Structure 1
Amino acid sequence: MKPDSSLSSQDAENVAVPEPMIDWVSLSRHFEGNEGLIEQLIDLTLRTQAEIPSQLGQAADRLDWEGMARSAHDLKSLSGHFQVWALVELAKTTERAARERQPTAPQLARALATGTDQLMGVLAAYRGVVTQTPDPAAAIDLVSELHAFAEALRGRQMAAYHLAERLQTHLADDELWPALERAIRAALDLEFAVALSYLEPALAAIEAGGK
């Protein structure tokens, strides 16, 4: 269970970098014992999120308030996926401090970047993999991609997360009609059943020739 704790930005000058401790038993229970899903989540994180800590550090160095807030928000979600609550709380505090342009924000951001780098190291050690940079994705066939998305959602495969990112990146704004957009957002939050409930009617409408 997530602890009810928070870090005050007023204490930022003395902020310590939280240890990225992962309770693997609790994490396995959260994913209903689906170890394959956990491994896919780790692999996807290492492949697609490894640059965020350095981006956050760079934003702190140049006092990019929006950049700090955006990266902290992303790292809040990333840490939450692995239930590293100390990093989640630090990310929340960092995001709030950056949005309010508090002078403590850069130091908080650097601590968060360091802690998340350490988390990446823990994940890489667990999987025994080297972080890779993803290849640019090619243009997609919408119907085929949505069928693959639906299949991944039904199987609760981490590929659904990757496909949601791909769809979000490659579809023009006017193509993201409400049901499909909600499906993508739900998948990015790892709510696969919810995503499927939005996707199936949207896919049926597409195949019927209308949005």
Structure 2
Amino acid sequence: MVRVVVADDQAIVRAGFTVVVEAAGDIEVVGAAHDGYEAVRLAQALRPDVVCMDIRMPGRNGIEATRILSSDPTGHVPVLVVTTFDLDDYVFGALEAGAAGFLLKGADEQTLVDAIRSVAAGDGTLDQRLTRRVLSEFASRRAAPRHHPAAVAATLTDRELDILGLLSNGLSNQEMAAHLYIEPSTVKYHLAGLLGKIGVRDRLQAAVWAFRNGLDVPLG
């Protein structure tokens, strides 16, 4: 059973979210928070598999709460940001804070359930409707070198570079496997090695890294 804490300042959203995800049968909402303070408190007390976090909340917002949970010395708590789409510093701040996944509130029910499962499994998730637009804008707004460090570049295999480029387009493991004509298990193997080499926890942060260092590859 995947244990979830949902954080949103609107009671009707929290209630609707709970109904939708618990209908999947393998997800349980163990806590609901109306702001970032309560989200952090519940997450640290309950240790859920995923915190589904809105960005704009009163008091401590979702960005600060995500930053605290992503860097918690007592144990990392993965955060799936579920929010409306807006190209502003709130969105980019969530990426910098270490969000493990990013999903639009308009996503269908199955996409939401799949995103929660993916983040809980340690894979993270990217909403393909915003992947390249958000990440490219994020990279252009942040003063970061458009090349990868030589020491890291020397450790990346050709296959890892392929996967890094595909990540920047929001492809799933299955989609990357089809694109590269390999098995999904092989993608997962290379992805695990890639994450360790570039020093990030999940695929969303790997995609951010790719954009910052000029390793994103647009699909034709």
TM-score of the two chains, using structure 2 as the length reference: 0.27
TM-score of the two chains, using structure 1 as the length reference: 0.28
User: By percentage of residues, which structure has more helix?
Assistant: 1
User: By percentage of residues, which structure has more strand?
Assistant: 2
Q: For the pair shown, which has the larger CA radius of gyration, 1 or 2?
A: 1
